[in-house]
Chains A and B, each alone.
Chain A
Amino acid sequence: MFLSTLIFMPFVFALIVLFVPSKYIRSVSFGLALGHFFYSLNLLRFFDSSSHAIQLAQKIPWLPSLGITYFVGVDGISFWLVLLSTFLTPIVILASWESIKENVRGFHISLFALTSFMLGSFLAIDGVLFYVFFEASLIPMYFIIGIWGGQRRLYATVKFFIYTMLGSLFMLLAIIYLMKLTQVQFGQMSASILDWYKLEIPFVAGEFINTQTLLMIAFSLAFAIKVPLFPLHTWLPDAHVEAPTSGSVVLAAVMLKMGTYGFLRFVIPLFPGAVDYWSWVFLLLAVVGIIYGALVAMVQPDVKKLVAYSSVSHMGYIVLGLFVFNNYSVTGALYQMLNHGISTGALFLLVGLIYERTHSREISKYGGLASAAPWIGICFLIVTFSSIAVPMTNGFVGEFLILLGSFSTKKPFAVAASTGVVLGAAYMLWMTKKVFFGVESDLVKSEKLHLKEKGEKFDLRWREVAYLTPFLGLIFWMGIFPGHFLSYSTASLQHLTQSKGHYELQVLFASENDSKVVENNYQGK
């Protein structure tokens, strides 16, 4: 029940928000979201990090004739992504305290719905359930960008929605096919991912048209768009630029991870033959993405676009790590998913709070911000260091492990990817220099004066300190004591990388009752 409570609590919150007097919406939402986050920390207690099994599972028949169940559970792969999602909700509520002025109620309802769906997609062990959550999460995000976004928000939302939707359609076909296949091979239809792992999916090396390859392509398309993998990334800069701060943060920090998570949960273990044969395509696109994203980020005139392209580059590292597929690289990739969530999330928050003060995203209009607002400067600099993977920050651990792992088996790719280390520093430090260093620009001067007249603070305000501090803390905590975090995922990742081609997962149910249901379900085999 714990996981289900976790997933559906935000839904209940959304209902509550519906009836809260409008004066209190923000504070009530924040309280609820914070409570939800603390509740989710119970995972740390309940989760057995020494086991690679699906834990705290719950399974309820949903459409028995089709073998579709409500089946949720957590393992070392989804563990931190769940906590990342619950961690971000209270933060983005704080961050949009002043910037969201219209339809505050609707905004918080969308945000809670989004949290639910994201949690659902990380926790679903049933393929169809996953698909439902995966797709449903688009809807609140569609509203968040489309209603509370910038000037070209409609263009951005439509592009975002159609792009991602298109990819998922193929995935739906593949899911149906896999369900049919379970019927053929096991005599009973099942949508459980765990049953799919046991399937013998025909694969012919060297041929393009064969079941495993086609299925892999169908799934990969959905996830590659979500990640986004080069060249399917063009929706991302537009979506980020138009999205409100909260939307950008959730999009970058969590929603993109649904793509890489999908690769790790579905594509890689389900289609080992095809992945093995075609991995060079993914590696190539990943490395091209790393370099291409960094190069294009370097010439962006818009802060948010720069950060968006940097995401393309960073996500390339993650995909590289996943498809190199050894213990180091996959561990690094999983860690980098969290790191990217933290550092890019924080970057968008900082860009957002600067925008609130100056109403401009144009890099050339800035200058001398560090003199005008030293605390903002310090925070931005620290987050920059995390983003460019300076040792002792979280980013380094992930990037190092990915490159180390890649180097062991895919040297050319690793060497090519390591140019990103230089390019990443180049675009981030260039932007920092332009925005924060030098003399105060006219824009900064006038807005500083303007706020002073209004009696408001130009440097960090307490509310902002409150939501940035956790990020800064995590940057160093994750950088200096990676073991505290990695230990929860080690067992799962080790199991995954070692049992290539015959990956299976046991299930540990949360209660006795649930396990009986399963016994019955499995009788067909």
Chain B
Amino acid sequence: MSHQLLLSLLLLAPVLGFFINGFNFSSTKAIAVGTLGTLCSFISFICSLGLVLKLGGLPEDQRRLTVEFFNWLQVADLKIGFSFIVDQISAVMILIITGIGTLIHLFSVGYMSHDLRPAKYFAYLNLFLFNMLLLVLSDNLLLMFVGWEGVGLCSYLLIGFWFSDPAKASAGMKAFITNRIGDVGFLIGMFILFFQFGTLNFVEILSRLPAVAELGWTGPITLSCLALFIGATGKSAQIPLYVWLPDAMAGPTPVSALIHAATMVTAGVYMIVRLSGLFVLAPNVMMLIAVVGAATALFAALIGLTQWDIKKVLAYSTVSQLGYMFLAVGVGAFGGAMFHLMTHAFFKALMFLGSGSVIHAMHEEQDIRKMGGLAKKLPMTHATFLVGWLAIIGFPFLSGFFSKDEILWSVYASPNGHPLLWFIGVCGAGCTAFYMTRLMALTFWGKSRVPKEIHPHESPLVMTFPLIILAFFALTIGWVGVPHILASVLPGHIPNVFEHWLEPVVPKLSFIGKSSLLEWALMGISVSVAGLCAWLAFDFYIVHKERPKSFVLKMGKLYQFVSHKFYVDEFYKQRILDPLIEGSTALWAYVDVNFIDRLTYFIADFTVSAGAGLKSIQNGQTQQYALYILLGLVTTITWILVG
């Protein structure tokens, strides 16, 4: 099949699924609609595979497939096509999106089997898939923005899927509006680029960069990068716009796995990698990205230490892991960011689905204080979750180990990096190991604290099968990106396939002058910190269960501060939302009602009273009229003569 056909099918399959299930939205046949949704997603996956194989078959410097469907918008110099590009970066993304997407669809068939509106659910999920593909495949910024807002829309719909609960509906609204703040940044960045380069096409922008860079005037580039980064902080839940993601857990759990862990939230990272050639010309913004990323990584991990809701822990973990990706991007390790994006997609989707399996078994109970000892009841969920846990804490030779290690090494060794950032990163990694172990211990290990009326049972195969596949990849996918120093001591000289694949399209980092001894040492430090923290958590929650309580008492206010998520939500509400509402009410009352309308009435009254006053002129006395005529005549003649 030609690549045009493959790409069309790739995009059309989910659209088709959306329409069929969408028009049939009240259907309750979960299996039928679920199979259809999964099938559409699977077709997309097969097409992605086909496209990537085709791409791999091309010579390294020509790996780019383009397809233009039709002209979308054309006004003067602005010409935006519905056109797509498959290259090394988007290839990685479409495999993740459709591959993990299909598994999550499959899982949902089991998870949503008792829901009242499964057709609507699968329709939205397919629509999301389409928009996400649009986002990563688009060959220009505007079409990317279409997908960008499109995934936001689907996220809104899916977070508020059970909209009868006002809290869930509010969470969806919060996600959309917070994202919109970022989107304004995206729009402005796009405007600057358009007027700077005369195009919004990625390839053209990047090809015109050298000419602009030569001029030495990087002001607009810096501004546009800053604006685009603001867009990324919205979609990828970074400080200060991360607040929507924890609330987004109100949606069905598979949605959290797909949208709020594996795919949509990584769009910001993807966008910056896509424009990496541009971002490297704005070192100030890069530094800001690194700092924000590091801060988010640690900040969210700290909050994660104190949460009791299984999904909230995972949500803060996602925010934190996204922070690592931005940290990587900020120091120029674009390949490392993409690598972590991929490994994270597998192990975090795995853990979210695992938590879904737990929640399903626990009859919608999400509080880990009411769990414990589930390993026996849910052996498969436990086994796969275990893999995810080991992957995220960076246990040697699992996927998370390779990608996190690559990022931390780049942060230390890159010319744009800094030891302090590395230190923050390691602290974050320690926290990650602690809260994930805590989650494992409270959920699966120890004694059962499950309420008597709940009888947890292992999920059906349709749910455990995706877990097994994801666990397999969480275990092994890291081997596509083995760092050089490890490869040099391991047998068989495993090549760094991933780095090599991305090499032609992302700027490469140089680590000249950095010794391999240092790299070994840093790797050792980060692994032992993580191990230590994991052991500490094990000790806290399994061995000496009384310790957490005394620890919390000892920490006092500090613990309260962290467990209330640093009061950021409260701050936003009190300092931004409430004043906005109060101010608007005041505007309405004072400007509209009291000022403008009063003025209107005043003018109206004036007219009436003036009319009443003028009435006296018309008093019927002929002599007076004659006087008026005379006066008028004189005035007119004077005016004509003078004028």
Contacts and interface: CB of A to CB of B under 8 A. Distances in A.
Interface of A: 159, 162-163, 231, 234, 237, 292, 295-296, 298-300, 327-328, 331, 368, 370-371, 374, 378, 385, 390-392, 396-397, 400-401, 403-404, 407-408, 414-415, 418-419, 421-422, 425-426, 429-430, 433, 436-439, 480-483, 486, 490, 494
Contact of B176 (A418, A429, A490): A429
B406 interface: no
Given A163-B600, A418-B184, A425-B176, A391 B587 contact: no
Nearest to A389: B149
Contacts of A390: 149-150, 153
Interface in B110-155: 142, 145-146, 149-150, 153
A429 B163 contact: no
Contacts of A371: 163-164
A439 B187 contact: no
A483 B146 contact: no
A415 B188 contact: yes
Contacts of A415: 188
Contact of B78 (A237, A404, A429): A404
A433 B173 contact: yes
B164 A437 contact: yes
Contacts, number: 122
B191 A414 contact: yes
B556 interface: no
Contacts of B181: 422
A415 B191 CA distance: 11
16 contacts: A159-B600, A163-B600, A234-B592, A234-B597, A296-B588, A299-B584, A299-B585, A370-B163, A390-B153, A391-B150, A400-B142, A407-B195, A418-B188, A425-B180, A436-B163, A437-B169
B423 interface: no
A483 B74 contact: yes
Interface residues of B, number: 49
Most interface-central of B160, B187, B194 (chain A CB within 10 A): B187
A391 B72 CA distance: 12
Given A231-B596, A429-B173, A421 B188 contact: no
Contacts of A368: 164
Contacts of A300: 588
Given A374-B25, A397-B73, A486-B75, A292 B176 contact: no
A423 B461 CA distance: 46
B604 interface: yes
Contacts of B192: 407
B581 interface: yes
A418 B187 contact: yes
A425 B184 contact: no
Contacts of A231: 591, 596
Nearest to A436: B163
Contacts of B194: 404
Given A404-B78, A404-B194, A438-B163, A299 B149 contact: no
A416 to B, nearest CB: 11
B35 interface: no
Contacts of A422: 177, 180-181, 184
A421 B184 contact: yes
A401 B187 CA distance: 11
B183 interface: yes
Contacts of A438: 163-166, 169
Nearest to A432: B173
Interface in B64-99: 71-76, 78
B190 to A, nearest CB: 8
Contacts of A292: 587, 591
Given A296-B592, A439-B166, 6 more contacts: A292-B587, A296-B587, A300-B588, A391-B149, A408-B191, A436-B163
A480 B177 contact: no
B26 interface: yes
Contacts of B72: 480-483
B596 A234 contact: yes
A429 B164 contact: no
A482 B604 contact: no
A433 B172 CA distance: 9
A234 B188 CA distance: 32
Contacts of A397: 73
Given A292-B591, A299-B588, A397-B73, A437 B149 contact: no
Contacts of B591: 231, 292
A436 B173 CA distance: 13
B504 interface: no
B75 A327 contact: yes
A404 B191 contact: yes
Nearest to B22: A378
B416 interface: no
B73 A385 contact: no
A170 to B, nearest CB: 14
B75 A401 contact: yes
B164 A439 contact: yes
Interface string B593-604: 000110010001
B580 interface: yes
Nearest to B160: A437
Contacts of B76: 327-328, 494
B170 interface: yes
Contacts of B183: 421
A480 B596 CA distance: 41
Contacts of B191: 403-404, 407-408, 414
B632 interface: no
Contacts of B588: 296, 299-300
Contact of A421 (B160, B180, B587): B180
B264 to A, nearest CB: 15
B600 A425 contact: no
A300 B587 CA distance: 12
A371 B25 CA distance: 13
B583 interface: yes
A400 B592 CA distance: 29
B164 A295 contact: no
B150 A407 contact: no
A298 B187 CA distance: 23
A390 B187 CA distance: 13
Contacts of B188: 407, 414-415, 418
A483 B75 CA distance: 9
Contact of A299 (B164, B180, B581): B581
A439 B580 CA distance: 27
Q: Which 10 A-B pairs have the closest CB atoms?
A: A437-B169, A391-B146, A437-B163, A407-B191, A295-B584, A438-B166, A327-B76, A296-B588, A299-B584, A422-B180
B146 A295 contact: no
B168 to A, nearest CB: 8
Contacts of A327: 75-76
A437 B173 CA distance: 11
Interface in B3-32: 25-26
A292 B145 CA distance: 27
A123 B73 CA distance: 28
A159 B53 CA distance: 69
A295 B587 contact: yes
B177 A426 contact: yes
Interface string B172-211: 0100110011011001100110110000000000000000
A482 B73 contact: yes
A392 B588 CA distance: 33
Contacts of A483: 71-74
Contacts of A481: 72
Contacts of B587: 292, 295-296
B26 A374 contact: yes
A425 B182 CA distance: 13
B583 A295 contact: yes
Nearest to A331: B75
A346 to B, nearest CB: 18
Contacts of A439: 164, 166
A522 to B, nearest CB: 31
A482 B170 CA distance: 33
